[in-house]
Amino acid sequence: MQKKFRIKTFPAGGVHVDECKFSAQRPIESLPLPGVVTTPVLQHFGAAATPIVKAGDRVKTGQVIAQANGFLSVNIHATIAGTVARIDEAMDVSGYKRPVIVINADGEDWVEGVDLSRTLKRKVELSSVEIIKKVQQDGLVGLGGAGFPVHVKLSPVAGKRADVLLINGAECEPYLTCDHRLMVEKGPEILVGVVILMKALNVSRAVIGIEWNKQDAIAHLSALASDFDGIDVVALKACYPQGAEKQLIEALIGKQVPIGGLPIDAGCVVQNIATAFAVYESIQKNKPLVERIVTVAGEDLKKPSNFRVRLGTSMAALIEAAGGLPESTGKIISGGPMMGKALNMLDIPVIKTTSGILVMPQERSKRDPVVNCIRCARCVKHCPLGLEPYLLMNLAEKERFEDAENEVVMNCCECGTCAYVCPAKRPLLDYIRLAKTFITQRRKEKAVK
C-alpha cells in the first residue's frame, strides 16, 4: 500500500506553469572532465573570494585557489587538477566581466583525505561549530539559485532561534530536473545531509517539501525518512512558485516571513536538496564543492540530460553533450524559464548556482506584442505576495518610486508569475525591477550620507 499524502500549498496566488520536465527520467550522467576550467572567484551572494594562486602554479582537485573574504564569503576550489593558466576576467551569466581563475587541466589528482568511495557514512562525528566552520572552508553555498553561503544561514543570530529546518525539494521551475534526479538517486546521502544540518542548527525537526509531480522522489524519500528521527517528507501541490522561500515556508509550517525579514524571523532555516547533498559530501566525505548537477533541456534538444559537471566547465560543452545546439535555437537560458537569465554567448562557465541550461526554440524566444492593460486582475490574483503588479508597473512608468515603495514593491521576489499570466503581455516584472533598482540605489545613497 502506498502511503497517502496530504498535499499542501501556499494560500494566495501562484499559477500552474506547463512543466516540460523532459529530462525527469534521465539518470544523472558524469560529463567527461573538461580540458580547461574557468572559475569565477564570486559564485555566491556576498564578497568575492581572494585568489591565492598565480599563473604557473600546480593545483590539485579540491585545493583552495581563492580564500573566503570575510564572513559573507566562502572558499573557491580548483575543480580539477592542472596548471593555473592565468588570472583573468570573463563574462558571467549577467553579461558582466568578472575576475576568474583559469586552469589548464591535466587529470584527476585529488587533494589528500578526500573519500571518493560510495559507501554511505551515517554517523555524524563533527560538532555544530565544526560543521559550520567546515562548510565555509569547503565552499558551500545554497545550490538552489541565490547562492547564499550555507554557514551564514547556520550561524546563530542573537535573540533568534530556528525551531525547524526546511528542505526545498519543490523544484517548481519548469524544465529543471536536477534536484528531482538527486532525490531519486542519492536519497540516503541527502537524508544524512539533513541530519548534519539539523545538528548544526541544533533543531530536532526537519521537513522536506517536494512537489507532487515528483511522486517517485516523495515515495522514495519518505520511505527512507522513517529510518531517521524528526525528518518528515511533505507533498506539495505543483504550483509555481512553490519553491520560492517565502511560499515554501508558508506551505510547510503556515508562517509568514515579515516584510523585510528573514526566514529565521519565522523560526526556520531553508536549504535546498542539492545543498543537503553537498553538505553530506563535505562533512562525511571531506569533499569540497567542485561539482554539481545541471539539467540541460529544451524542446528541440536531442538528448535532454542531467549532468554531473565540474564547476567552471563551459556551458557549450554541456549543450554539446546533450546532442548539440539545435538549428531552431533562439534563446539560451541559465536557470529555469521563469527566473533564469538569457545568455548572449555559450562560452560561460557553470558555477555553483547553475541549476540548468535551457535551449529555447526561435518561436518561443520572442516576447509577444504588448497591448493595453485590460484590468483583468490576473496579476493581482496570481501574485503570491499579495502585491498589485499592474499598479506597481504604472507607478514605475511614471517614476513614482516612493509610491511604489509604499506599495511594498521591495517585497517582490521577482518570480515572474504576473508577467506570465498577463493576457496583454505587459512587461510587469521589468518595470517592477526598475522600481526596485531605483529604490535600492536611493537607500544606498541615504546610507552613505
Strand partners, 149: 141
Q: 58 vs 255, which CB is nearer to another protein?
A: 255
Nearest to 199 by CA among 250, 269, 260: 269
CB of 379 to another protein, least distance (A): 9
Candidate ranges 54-62, 97-105, 137-145, 383-391; the one touching another protein (CB under 8 A): 383-391
Per-residue mark of binding to another protein, 335-354 (x: CB under 8 A): x-xxxxxxxxxxx-------
Q: How far apart are CA 208 and CA 191, in angstroms?
A: 10
Q: How far apart are CA 271 and CA 181, in angstroms?
A: 17
Contact 338, 278 (CB under 8 A): no
User: Given candidates 144, 149, 326, 416, which one binds another protein under the rule CB under 8 A?
Assistant: 416
CB of 360 to another protein, least distance (A): 6
Q: 215 vs 344, which CB is nearer to another protein?
A: 344
Residue written as cell 516571513? 257
CB of 392 to another protein, least distance (A): 12
Candidate ranges 40-48, 181-189, 295-303, 424-432; the one touching another protein (CB under 8 A): 424-432
Q: 15 vs 184, which CB is nearer to another protein?
A: 15
Pull the grid cell for residue 20.
Answer: 516540460
User: Given candidates 1, 2, 6, 18, which one binds another protein under the rule CB under 8 A?
Assistant: 18
Q: 109 vs 414, which CB is nearer to another protein?
A: 414
Nearest 5°: the CA angle 124, 125, 129 is 100
User: Given candidates 32, 108, 386, 437, which one binds another protein under the rule CB under 8 A?
Assistant: 386
Residue 325 found at the interface with another protein (CB under 8 A): yes
Pull the grid cell for residue 107.
Answer: 587529470
Candidate ranges 34-42, 162-170, 210-218, 356-364; the one touching another protein (CB under 8 A): 356-364
Q: How far apart are CA 295 and CA 307, in angstroms?
A: 6
Nearest to 358 by CA among 409, 309, 403, 304: 304
User: Given candidates 195, 429, 435, 436, which one binds another protein under the rule CB under 8 A?
Assistant: 429
User: Given candidates 273, 360, 395, 404, which one binds another protein under the rule CB under 8 A?
Assistant: 360
Residue 258 found at the interface with another protein (CB under 8 A): yes
Q: Which helix (H) or strand (E) is 252 found in, with range?
A: helix 245-253
Scan residues 238-257 and list those touching another protein (CB under 8 A): 246, 250, 254-257
Residue 377 found at the interface with another protein (CB under 8 A): yes
Candidate ranges 99-107, 144-152, 276-284, 367-375; the one touching another protein (CB under 8 A): 367-375
Q: How far apart are CA 412 and CA 24, in angstroms?
A: 30
Q: 28 vs 379, which CB is nearer to another protein?
A: 379
Nearest 5°: the CA angle 190, 194, 200 is 140
Pull the grid cell for residue 55.
Answer: 599563473
Contact 248, 170 (CB under 8 A): yes
User: Given candidates 302, 371, 440, 443, which one binds another protein under the rule CB under 8 A?
Assistant: 371
Residue 265 found at the interface with another protein (CB under 8 A): yes
Residue 436 found at the interface with another protein (CB under 8 A): no
Contact 314, 38 (CB under 8 A): yes
Residue written as cell 521589468? 430
Pull the grid cell for residue 47.
Answer: 564578497
User: Given candidates 70, 372, 444, 448, which one binds another protein under the rule CB under 8 A?
Assistant: 372
Q: 190 vs 415, which CB is nearer to another protein?
A: 415
CB of 441 to another protein, least distance (A): 18
User: Given candidates 274, 332, 392, 395, which one binds another protein under the rule CB under 8 A?
Assistant: 332
Nearest to 23 by CA among 323, 240, 273: 323
Per-residue mark of binding to another protein, 147-186 (x: CB under 8 A): ---------------------------x------------
Q: Give CA torsion, residues 324, 327, 333, 335, to 10 deg.
A: -40
51 phi/psi in degrees, rounded to 5: -65, 140
Residue 414 found at the interface with another protein (CB under 8 A): yes
Residue 304 found at the interface with another protein (CB under 8 A): no
Nearest to 419 by CA among 386, 381, 384, 379: 379
Taking the alpha carbons at both ends of the chain, their separation in whole angstroms is 65
Directed axis angle between helix 428-448 and helix 389-397, to 10°? 60
Strand partners, 166: 207, 270
Scan residues 79-98 and list those touching another protein (CB under 8 A): 95
Number of residues located near another protein, criterion CB under 8 A: 77
